[in-house]
Chain A
Amino acid sequence: EVQLVESGGGLIQPGGSLRLSCAASGFIFNTYAMNWVRQAPGKGLEWVSYISSSGTTSYYADSVKGRFTISRDNAKNSLYLQMNSLRAEDTAVYYCAREYLAVVGIFPYWGQGTLVTVSS
């Protein structure tokens, strides 16, 4: 069974940094591209970042480019999101999501999410 478990969320002051983790199990992690998707309280879904299966290619939403860095450790079956220079508008539940092999860009598997609150 595919499992994705996020951790690392919490309350952080504006301008601060936070590192989210996503522990994956139930599949061959180094075979699949991974993503982060976020959802502000009471709002819709926003794609944040993508990383290829090998970790050599990554993409970011304009809203986080230059502040967030996605990475992965295939030996540890883990995905990460380093978030710097955090702003109030980054407050959201952050989900890690796994893609399909054959169809890039859709998310059949999601974690339960971790809440990041940026506030003084």
Chain B
Amino acid sequence: DIQMTQSPSTLSASVGDRVTITCRASQSISSRLAWYQQKPGKAPNLLIYEASNLESGVPSRFSGSGSGAEFTLTISSLQPDDFATYYCQQYNSSPYTFGQGTKVEIK
């Protein structure tokens, strides 16, 4: 199985900050990586797929990059609505696997 490792596990930031989350795969997954945002008590929300494609309706302050085994999610200017937990997910091969999550907290 492909292991997905996110860093950091927790991130404290202020409104307006630029935030970067890293996701590493245990082997190459090409660009078959997605990012999700999850708020407490809610289902995850797809933000980015194919490593850098913004899902329809997602604000342009979110962006993704990377290929192979290393990927990043960047929030260019953190907004109050962005405090949440973020997960990466590989879909290059079954079983699909998620990272352990990165919680973005208010500093």
Contact = CB atoms under 8 A, between A and B. Distances in A.
Interface string B66-100: 00000000000000000000010101101111111
Contacts of B34: 106-107
Interface in A63-89: none
A7 B100 CA distance: 26
B43 A110 contact: yes
Give the interface size bracket for B toward A: 20 to 34
A57 to B, nearest CB: 11
Contacts of A100: 49
Contact of A103 (B1, B49, B96, B101): B49
Contact of B87 (A45, A59, A104): A45
Contact of A106 (B46, B97, B101): B46
A45 B50 contact: no
Contact of B98 (A35, A44, A108): A44
A103 B99 CA distance: 20
Q: Which of B34, B43, B50, B101 has the most CB of A within 10 A?
A: B43
A47 B43 CA distance: 13
B46 A45 contact: no
B95 A59 contact: yes
A50 interface: yes
Interface in B1-59: 1, 32, 34, 36, 38, 43-46, 49-50, 55
Contacts of A103: 49-50, 91
A29 interface: no
Contacts of B101: 44-45
Contacts of A105: 32, 91-92, 94, 96
23 contacts: A44-B87, A44-B100, A45-B36, A45-B87, A45-B101, A47-B96, A59-B94, A62-B95, A103-B49, A103-B50, A104-B91, A105-B32, A105-B91, A105-B92, A105-B96, A106-B34, A106-B46, A106-B49, A106-B89, A107-B46, A108-B46, A110-B43, A111-B43
